[in-house]
């Protein structure tokens, strides 16, 4: 792993921007191609916004974990809300409540996340809540950037091996 960013955020829509910008900045520093950066930023935005819109957590907090590897980024968003199952997901274009108490047309977020990520999994969090994990492959603007990412990823693997063996 190159590095890990862990955030514990209040369920506040204004802070979703912070999570998005952090993901963008970290990938830009690794010199990842713009389309991958845009995709990761959108995935982070959609997963975090879904928590705020739908989780109804008693703790009013959720966590975002971004794990950066040379080949991919793993985005994990965990809430302590009411959870959901496939039968709870309304169809695309169906009316649903908005955050201001009105109605909106929605259902586009999950298909968007599925389309942008290489893998998307949802699991129930014990005793309540949901963990969403999306994996997105990364591509680099230059061979130099890809090589540097490989070196950083390899250094962490060596450290993890030494730590596990001690």
pLDDT tens digits, one per residue of 11-59: 888 999 999 999 999 999 999 999 999 999 999 999 999 888 877 787 7
CA pair distance 16, 4, nearest whole angstrom = 18
CB-based contact 77:135 (threshold 8 Å):
no
CB-based contact 152:68 (threshold 8 Å):
no
Summarize the confidence of residues 127-155 as an average pLDDT.
Answer: 92
Q: Six-digit token pair at 71?
A: 């080949």
Position 31 scores a pLDDT of 97
Range of the domain at 123: 3-165
- pTM score of the predicted model: 0.83
Position 156 scores a pLDDT of 63
CATH number of the domain enclosing 97: 3.30.565.10
What's the structural domain count of the chain?
A: 1
- Give strand pairing partners of 120: 134
With CA atoms as reference, report the closest residue to 32 among 120, 114, 144, 151.
Answer: 144
C-alpha distances out from residue 163 to 64, 156, 157, 160, Å: 25, 10, 10, 5
Sheet of strand 3-10, all strands in order from the earlier edge strand to the far edge: 3-10, 61-68, 72-79, 130-137, 119-124
Pairing of strands 95-97, 103-105: antiparallel
Pairing of strands 3-10, 95-97: unpaired
With CA atoms as reference, report the closest residue to 5 among 76, 63, 61, 65.
Answer: 65
Give the dihedral sign, CA 129/58/60/90. positive
**Which tens digits make up the pLDDT trace of 100-129?**
777 766 666 788 899 999 999 988 887 788
- pLDDT bucket at 165, cuts 50 / 70 / 90: very low
């Amino acid at each position: 792993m190159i590095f890990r960013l862990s955030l514990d955020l209040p369920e506040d829509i204004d802070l979703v921007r912070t999570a998005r910008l952090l993901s963008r900045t970290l990938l830009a520093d690794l010199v990842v191609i713009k389309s991958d950066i845009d995709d990761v930023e959108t995935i982070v935005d959609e997963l975090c916004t879904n928590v705020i819109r739908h989780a109804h957590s008693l703790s009013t907090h959720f966590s975002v974990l971004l794990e950066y590897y040379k080949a991919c980024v793993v985005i994990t968003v965990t809430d302590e809300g009411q959870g959901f199952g496939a039968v709870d997901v309304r169809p695309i274009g169906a009316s649903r409540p908005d955050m201001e108490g009105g109605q909106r047309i929605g259902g586009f977020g999950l298909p968007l996340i599925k389309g942008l990520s290489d893998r998307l999994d949802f699991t129930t969090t014990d005793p309540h809540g949901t963990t969403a994990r999306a994996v997105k492959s990364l591509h680099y603007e230059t061979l130099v950037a890809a090589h540097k990412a490989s070196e950083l990823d390899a250094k962490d693997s060596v450290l993890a091996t030494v730590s596990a063996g001690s």
